[in-house]
Amino acid sequence: MRPSPFLACLVAAGFVSAAMAAPQNEKLTTRADQREVAVTIYNENLALVKDGRKVRLDRGANQLAWREVSAQMRPETALLRNISNPAGLRLVEQNFDFDLLTPQKLLEKYVGREVTVISINPATGAEKREAATVLANNGGVVLKFADRIETGVPGRLAFSGVPDNLRDKPTLAISLSNVSAGEQNLELSYLTGGLSWKADYVAELNDKDDRLDINGWVTLSNRSGTAYPEARLQLVAGDVNLVQEELARGRPVPLMAKTAMAEAADMSQEALFEYHLYTLERPTTIADNQTKQVALMSAAAVPVKKELLLEGQNYYYSGQFGELGQKLKAGVFVEFTNKGEGLGIPLPKGVVRVYKKDSKGNAQFIGEDRIDHTPKNESVRLKLGDAFDVTADRKQTDFKKLAGTSRYNYVFESAYQITIKNAKSEPVTVKVAEPMPGDWQVQSESHPHAKAAANTAVWNIDVPAEGKAVLTYRVLVRY
């Protein structure tokens, strides 16, 4: 998008150099004063920033402008501490200035105030200066001259200065009282939006589908409006309760424009309250508008159980239906346990993407699934898709209402046939899981079932290569 002539006029007036002008007696602290910064990032677009700087203060009252803070700071959470002399500093007032300096914003602040209009005579090249009052800036500029009112900008505009609450970078303006003059080690801590992280996992199955290699990455996103150089980084995995309306702060920020891949590095972890805390063992720079990936874990040859699952519906058992579906697809699942070398740590929630090599050795994507936070020694179960070569035809072969006058005392007897077909060149085992309503009892069956839960019957059906197998059963259901 090309800048409008109006904005070009403002820029040409050279007002940007005034952006660094500070209110009288205000002390500025910038990133150059920074001695250390620590960032703890949570899952839900929230981070805790601790920014330590060395600042020279006067004795008594001080006006301090803490520049280059997050543009999405929650100012009610900001806390300034004097590390050098904790009892020697008293906060009086603080203001978060996130209304950033732009040509449009500058003009808005000058509504009702006087500016200088600079125009050039095209014939002579002579420069003419006139004073005008800005009457309005809603959808266009209205200027009042001594003898007329004009709309639009008939030239360049010159401003006498930049308003105190209009900054070129997000700034926390702090009024404080200090007991002694000199350099002080100060720490500003605050909660902010715009920083988030998630876990991503990449896994590769072997030829026999019984083992996989898995690598975990932490993906950081910074859209907070500032950078955090050489930060001590920590991540909290867990569902922290947040008051959502309190997060609707901050200004819109641009989309992420850069991606960085951090060096592989071990991350230590520890329990923190009812969550888990991951700590990167070296400082890292989190640039603004950047995503960064950091190695989390790596494990090889993890034992895997593959499963083909065909699931039914409990409404099958309370009515007369006949055909219940043809060419039904079996879901494909893989499952492994979070234990062993490289695993056995709490796995943060995220997406697991699974690959497998083809006959030429090229890795092909075969599916993905999302996992929740998973403690050590717990199972990880992934649905990768639906089987292409394994299908089933399901039908109800008999239905009888034996007793009952309402939904609370019905007794039904029904029979079913499930024909499972296997077009693969090797035999497969299909798990048939049927959710049973009410008080149920299998009266007859072609294959033995297991009661997996109070409301679930399970059959494991072996299907020969390029063949089929038929499961039949009869069920009595009491409500």
The string of pLDDT tens digits covering residues 62-90 is 999 999 999 999 999 999 999 998 888 99
Tokens at 400, concatenated: 């009888």
> What percentage of the chain reaches a pLDDT higher than 90?
74
> What percentage of the chain reaches a pLDDT higher than 70?
90
Q: Which domains does the chain have, with CATH numbers?
A: 5-191 (no CATH), 305-336+380-478 (2.60.40.1180)
Tens digits of per-residue pLDDT, 327-382?
999 999 999 999 999 999 999 999 999 999 999 999 999 999 999 999 999 999 99
pLDDT at 417 over 90: yes
Q: Which DSSP state fits 255?
A: P
pLDDT of residue 248: 44
pTM to 2 decimal places: 0.74
Check: CB of residue 333 under 8 Å from CB of residue 241. Answer: no
Strand partners, 460: 431
pLDDT of residue 240: 84
Q: pLDDT averaged over the chain?
A: 89
* CA–CA distance, 440 with 410 (Å, rounded to integer): 12
Burial of 204 (0-12, 13-18, 19+ CB in 10 A): middle
* CA–CA distance, 318 with 298 (Å, rounded to integer): 49
pLDDT grade for 228, boundaries at 50, 70 and 90: very high
Tokens at 407, concatenated: 């939904």
pLDDT grade for 273, boundaries at 50, 70 and 90: confident
pLDDT at 15 over 50: no
pLDDT at 249 over 60: no
Helix, strand, coil percentages in the chain from 3-state DSSP, rounded to 5? 10, 60, 35
pLDDT of residue 266: 64
Of 3 and 237, the structure prediction assigns the larger pLDDT to 237
Check: CB of residue 338 under 8 Å from CB of residue 380. Answer: yes
Average pLDDT, stretch 146-167?
Answer: 86
pLDDT grade for 433, boundaries at 50, 70 and 90: very high
pLDDT of residue 25: 82
pLDDT of residue 24: 65
Tokens at 387, concatenated: 């089987």
Q: If you search the block for the tokens 């914003």, which residue do you land on?
A: 105
Of 44 and 409, the structure prediction assigns the larger pLDDT to 409
* CA–CA distance, 176 with 250 (Å, rounded to integer): 24
Q: Which of 168, 151, 150, 48 is nearest to 97 (CA)?
A: 168
Q: Which of 1, 11, 208, 225 is nearest to 107 (CA)?
A: 11
pLDDT at 10 over 70: no
Among 52-61, 87-96, 119-128, 259-268, the range with the most confident prediction by mean pLDDT is 52-61
Give the count of beta carbons closer than 10 Å to the beta carbon of residue 395.
Answer: 15
pLDDT of residue 23: 61
In one letter, which amino acid is 98?
Answer: F
- DSSP-derived secondary structure for 1-70: -PPPHHHHHHHHTTGGGGGG---TTEEEE-GGGEEEEEEEEETTTEEEEEEEEEEEE-SEEEEEEEES--
* CA–CA distance, 352 with 114 (Å, rounded to integer): 61
Tens digits of per-residue pLDDT, 290-332?
999 999 999 999 999 999 999 999 999 999 998 999 999 999 9
Check: CB of residue 391 under 8 Å from CB of residue 329. Answer: yes
pLDDT at 461 over 90: yes
* Cβ-Cβ contacts under 8 Å for 99 (sequence gap 6 or more): 105, 165, 166, 167
pLDDT of residue 261: 43
pLDDT of residue 412: 95
* CA–CA distance, 225 with 169 (Å, rounded to integer): 9
Point out the least confidently predicted range of 229-233, 241-245, 429-433.
241-245
* Cβ-Cβ contacts under 8 Å for 415 (sequence gap 6 or more): 396, 397, 398, 399, 472, 473, 474, 475
